[in-house]
Structure 1
Amino acid sequence: MKKNLLLIGASLLLGACSTTPEPSKPEQEKPATTKVTVVGLNDFHGNLEPTSFAGVMVPDPKDPTKQVKLTTGGIEVIGGYLDQERAKNANLTFVGAGDLIGASPVTSSLLRDEPSVIGLSKLGMQYSSLGNHEFDQGYKELLRMQNGGCDSNAPDKACKFQNPYPRATFSWLGANVEVKATGKPALPAYGIQEIGGARIAFIGAVTKTTPTIVSPDGVADLKFLDEAESINKYVPELKAKGVDAIIVLIHEGGVSKDGFDKPACGTLTGPIVNIVNKLDPAVDAVISGHTHQGYNCVVNGRTVIQGDYYGHLLQRLDMTIDLQKHKVTDIRAANVVMDPNTITKNAEMTALVGRAKSLTDAVKQRAIGSLAAPTISRTTNAAGESALGDLIADSQLAATADRGAVIAFMNPGGIRADLNATGGGTTVTFGDAYAVQPFGNTLVVMDLTGAQIKALLEQQFDNPSAGQNRVLQVSKNFTYSYDSTAAAGNRVDPASIKLGGVTLDPAKTYRVTLNSFLSTGGDNFTTFASGTNVLQLPNVSDLDALTAYIVAHPGVAGGAQDRIVKLK
Structure 2
Amino acid sequence: MQFLTISDWHGQLDPLNVAGVGAVGGAAVLSTYFQQERATNPNSLTMTAGDAVGASPPISSFFGDVPTIEAMRLMGFSADALGNHNFDRGIAHLQQLIDVASASSGQVGARFQYVSANLANRDANLSGVKDFEIFEVGGVKVAVIGLTNPEAPTLVAPGAFGTMSVTDPVQAANKARARARRAGAKVFVVLIHAGITGRDASGAAVGPLVDFANAVGGFDLIVGDHTDQQYAGVHNGAVVVENLSRGATYARVQLTVDPRNGRRISDSVTFVTPLASAVTPDPAVAALVDSYRAQLVPILNTQIGNATRVIPRSDVCGRADGRLCESLVGNVIADAMRVRYGTDIAITNAGGIRASLTCPTTDNASDFCPAYVPPPYPITRGQVLTVLPFGNEVVTVAISGTELLTFLENGVSAMPGANGRFPQLSGLCFTYDVAAPAGNRVVSAVRQAADGTCTGASIDFTAAAWYSLATNDFMATGGDGYPTVISRAVTRDLMDEVLADHVSASSPLSPTRQGRITCTSSGPVACPVVIEP
TM-score by length of 2: 0.86
Q: Retained in 2: the 8 A contact 1:129–1:206?
A: yes
Is 1:211 paired with 2:160? no
User: How far 1:43 moved relative to its partner?
Assistant: 1.2
**What is the aligned residue count?**
490
Q: Distance in 2 between matches of 1:167 and 1:536?
A: 40
Q: Which amino acid aligns with 1:544?
A: E
Q: Secondary structure at the match of 2:204?
A: coil
1:484 aligned residue: 434
Which residues in structure 2 correspond to 1:56-75 (within 5 Å)? 57-58=20-21, 70-75=22-27
User: How far 1:321 moved relative to its partner?
Assistant: 0.9
Is 1:409 paired with 2:374? no
Q: Distance in 2 between matches of 1:344 and 1:504?
A: 59
Is 1:53 paired with 2:8? no
Q: Retained in 1: the 8 A contact 2:23–2:277?
A: no
Q: Distance in 2 between matches of 1:354 and 1:182?
A: 37
Which residues in structure 2 correspond to 1:306-325 (within 5 Å)? 306-325=242-261
Pick from 260, 269, 277 the counterpart of residue 206 of structure 2: 269
1:441/1:296 CA distance change after superposition, 3 Å:
same
Pick from 139, 158, 166 the counterpart of residue 91 of structure 2: 139
Q: Mean Cα displacement is larger for which, 336-345 or 178-187?
A: 178-187
Q: Secondary structure at the match of 1:125?
A: coil
Is 1:113 paired with 2:62? no
1:504 aligned residue: 459
Q: Distance in 2 between matches of 1:146 and 1:371?
A: 41
Q: Distance in 2 between matches of 1:499 and 1:144?
A: 45
Q: Secondary structure at the match of 1:503?
A: coil
Q: Which amino acid aligns with 2:445?
A: S
Pick from 381, 401, 405 the counterpart of residue 454 of structure 1: 405
Which residues in structure 2 correspond to 1:375-390 (within 5 Å)? 375-381=311-317, 384-390=325-331
List runs of 5+ in structure 2 lacking aligned partners: 319-323, 360-368, 450-455, 522-533
1:396 aligned residue: 337
1:27 aligned residue: none
Q: Retained in 2: the 8 A contact 1:128–1:173?
A: yes
TM-score by length of 1: 0.81
Which residues in structure 2 correspond to 1:46-445 (within 5 Å)? 46-53=11-18, 57-58=20-21, 70-148=22-100, 169-179=111-121, 187-256=129-198, 267-279=204-216, 281-381=217-317, 384-401=325-342, 405-421=343-359, 422=369, 423=371, 425=374, 426-445=377-396
Q: Which amino acid aligns with 2:490?
A: L
Q: Distance in 2 between matches of 1:435 and 1:509?
A: 34
Q: Secondary structure at the match of 2:278?
A: coil
User: How far 1:53 moved relative to its partner?
Assistant: 3.0
1:185/1:175 CA distance change after superposition, 3 Å:
farther
Q: Retained in 1: the 8 A contact 2:311–2:328?
A: no
Q: Distance in 2 between matches of 1:274 and 1:225?
A: 16
Q: Secondary structure at the match of 1:303?
A: strand
Q: Distance in 1 between matches of 2:85 and 2:109?
A: 18
Q: Retained in 2: the 8 A contact 1:126–1:171?
A: yes
Q: Which amino acid aligns with 1:489?
A: G
1:39/1:172 CA distance change after superposition, 3 Å:
same
Q: Which amino acid aligns with 2:441?
A: R
Q: Which amino acid aligns with 1:431?
A: G
Q: Secondary structure at the match of 2:129?
A: coil
User: How far 1:513 moved relative to its partner?
Assistant: 0.8
1:180/1:120 CA distance change after superposition, 3 Å:
closer
Q: Retained in 2: the 8 A contact 1:433–1:546?
A: yes
Q: Distance in 1 between matches of 2:199 and 2:466?
A: 45
Q: Retained in 2: the 8 A contact 1:98–1:251?
A: yes
Q: Which amino acid aligns with 1:418?
A: S
User: How far 1:485 moved relative to its partner?
Assistant: 0.7
1:164/1:379 CA distance change after superposition, 3 Å:
farther
User: How far 1:165 moved relative to its partner?
Assistant: 6.5
Q: Retained in 1: the 8 A contact 2:391–2:495?
A: yes
1:558/1:334 CA distance change after superposition, 3 Å:
farther
1:483/1:185 CA distance change after superposition, 3 Å:
farther
Q: Distance in 1 between matches of 2:198 and 2:429?
A: 34
Q: Secondary structure at the match of 2:276?
A: coil
Q: Secondary structure at the match of 2:504?
A: helix
1:78/1:166 CA distance change after superposition, 3 Å:
closer
Pick from 459, 467, 471 the counterpart of residue 422 of structure 2: 471
Q: Retained in 2: the 8 A contact 1:388–1:559?
A: no
Q: Distance in 1 between matches of 2:347 and 2:128?
A: 33
Q: Distance in 1 between matches of 2:387 and 2:519?
A: 26
User: How far 1:461 moved relative to its partner?
Assistant: 3.5
Among all aligned residue pairs of Structure 1 and Structure 2, give the percentage whose two residues are the same amino acid: 28
1:152 aligned residue: none
User: How far 1:251 moved relative to its partner?
Assistant: 1.1
Q: Distance in 2 between matches of 1:74 and 1:245?
A: 30
1:499/1:518 CA distance change after superposition, 3 Å:
same
Is 1:567 paired with 2:508? no
1:455/1:256 CA distance change after superposition, 3 Å:
closer
Q: Distance in 1 between matches of 2:127 and 2:398?
A: 39
Q: Mean Cα displacement is larger for which, 288-297 or 368-377?
A: 368-377
Q: Distance in 2 between matches of 1:186 and 1:272?
A: 26
User: How far 1:530 moved relative to its partner?
Assistant: 4.2
Q: Distance in 2 between matches of 1:375 and 1:136?
A: 26
Q: Secondary structure at the match of 2:346?
A: strand
List runs of 5+ in structure 1 lacking aligned partners: 1-35, 59-69, 150-162, 259-264
Q: Retained in 2: the 8 A contact 1:200–1:244?
A: yes
